[in-house]
Amino acid sequence: MKQAISGTTQLAGVIGWPIDHSLSPAMHNAAYEHLGLDWVYLPLPVQNQMDLARVVAAIRALPFVGFNVTMPHKRMMLELCDEVAAQARLAGAVNTVHVRDGHLMGYNTDGRGLLESLRDEGGFTPEGKRIALVGSGGAAAAVLAALVLERASHVTVISRDPAHAEDLVSRIEAHARDTELVALAMGPENARYIEAADVVVNATPLGRNSGDELPVRAEWLHSGQIVSDMVYRPLTTPLLMAAAKAGAVPIAGIGMLVAQGAIGIEIWKADSTISAPRDVMRAACVAAIGSHGPGPSPAGES
């Protein structure tokens, strides 16, 4: 039975545009019900930066425990927080905000969510490993920051926009004392970096629409690798199918989506005895995908 909303109910939500296909309300509200929390999670459609500032100002005065931020506002949110955690500052984006007495503390749980998914579903830890990261946007930046902090030995950032990849690498390499970073344009020269990688991560939207090209060539994938696709709708992407056919371990984006949301709940609750129910959240996401059908699946939704 769903909990009734009352005068004591606290608020949470996700800010973004568009927001109508977000899975976050389904998975968060399922978690709150499971945990017996008197919270409710709402979609908060905000189209532009001026409106974002107004909504955030209002949130300070409302009974919010926290909120998530998705595209296109993650970078702007960095400037609207009172404090920003080191990993979010390094990533250059905030996707999770803890509200305490009107004070906003910004975090980025995308990279941590991906690493949790890789650990739990693939037995992978980054230290001393080689990663090929395809993409150079906000989701890729969050993953790169997490990999650097966890001491990966080498990360190749591959992008259709090589200048963007170079900017990302140059911004983070000062903090990469244990990690060699390389920026490359997409092309045939990527083969040796993909083949040498312990993990290949797709942080682009390629794969969410039928007819999309693969972010990397199927013949570059092989057994002994883990291939992670941050796209979660569809649940099985062409890249994951190619990985399975090559003998690699495929890891779907829904694991990252659930993990980053679960970490957010644990931040907001600020209680080390509370563990967000990832199995409940995952089931809610799968059910929501089944009921809504195909829709946009931005990498690292929230």
pLDDT in tens, the chain (302 residues): 466 888 899 999 999 999 998 999 999 999 999 999 999 999 999 999 999 999 999 999 999 999 999 999 999 999 999 999 999 999 999 999 999 999 999 999 999 999 999 999 999 999 999 999 999 998 999 999 999 999 999 999 999 999 999 999 999 998 988 899 999 999 888 999 999 999 999 999 988 888 889 999 999 999 999 999 999 999 999 999 999 999 999 999 999 999 999 999 999 998 878 899 999 999 999 999 986 555 544 444 54
According to CATH, where is 3.40.50.720 located in the chain? 111-254
* Residue in 74, 129, 245, 269 annotated catalytic: 74
- 2 given a catalytic annotation: no
Per residue, what are the HEC states of 16-46? ECCCCCCCHHHHHHHHHHHHCCCEEEEEEEC
pLDDT at 1: 47
Which segments of the chain belong to CATH 3.40.50.10860? 10-109+260-292
Q: For the chain, how long is the longest CA-to-CA vector? A: 60
**Distant-in-sequence, close-in-space partners of 266: CB < 8 Å, separation ≥ 6:** 274, 275, 276
| pLDDT given for residue 4 in this prediction | 80
What is the fold, at CATH topology level, of the domain defined by 10-109+260-292?
Rossmann fold (3.40.50)
What is the fold of 111-254? Rossmann fold (3.40.50)
